[in-house]
Structure 1
């Protein structure tokens, strides 16, 4: 999935000392959450597309642009506060959660430069970090049936 940034964003990304920075926003949704968790990887809150994103430290590895593989990202959020850990315990490890990754420039927060929604899986938590793998389920490479006809499962056929 190619990323098509605006001309201003490309200039700022390639600048040695940029006047404007690209912010990464996360929106985590789950059926047990009444309101999605919205955070920005910055030191101050930001309002983008009408929603407020709270400042929170996190590390994210964005999915690469390879054509022959499913996009996969890695997310680590600092484990601050009890809200996130309580939700993880109530939801059975966040099963069924999705994470929307957005990138915006600080000067134009309503212009979304990058937007992708991925399924969250493999959530792990310790005292310092909450980590998750973001991607899609590989449904096309799963077997279509649960039992194959082999000499051990159906000896009368062979």
Structure 2
């Protein structure tokens, strides 16, 4: 993941009316997909490192940074062509899907300004859009063992 934005990208982030806004790209990947779904939130397709990202309207909030909670983000992609519907039905609701968020400038097509890969969970779809939650598995708060022997689970031992 790139460590920092280029000077041109920082100027665009700080500007109230940027001459060239940052483009947000999404790459949704799953074991049941032959190739990942690649979309860009713009009106024109774009190529990044030899991969074509199709123009598609979507809304994606970047992960929050709240103390004491795992970062979360929200995603809503327009269901254009109904390809996402077919994938979601074939993949058991998209379990195990990941989403790579990329930000870049059109004038610097080979420079990734921001990149983050998160788990895509809680997928729901209707005739208009696919919605889901982006986040990480909270492995630090998972129990160390499947069954703990205490008076509730093993009363005969106590």
If the length of structure 1 is used for normalisation, what is the TM-score? 0.91
Q: Is the 8 A contact 1:2 1:65 kept in 2?
A: no
The CA deviation at 1:34 is 1.0
Residues 61 and 155 of structure 1: is their aligned pair in 2 closer, same or farther, counting only changes over 3 Å? same
Residues 49 and 68 of structure 1: is their aligned pair in 2 closer, same or farther, counting only changes over 3 Å? farther
The CA deviation at 1:71 is 2.3
1:49-79 per-residue CA deviation (whole Å, 9 max, x = no partner) reads: 2211000000001112456543221100011
Counterparts of 1:130 and 1:3, CA distance in 2: 30
Partner of 2:140: 140
Aligned length: 158
The CA deviation at 1:153 is 2.8
1:74-110 per-residue CA deviation (whole Å, 9 max, x = no partner) reads: 1000112121100000001111111110000111121
* Structure 2, unaligned runs of 5 or more: none
Whether 2:119 is the aligned partner of 1:119: answer yes
Q: Is the 8 A contact 1:23 1:106 kept in 2?
A: yes
If the length of structure 2 is used for normalisation, what is the TM-score? 0.91
Q: What's the RMSD between the two structures over aligned residues? A: 1.9
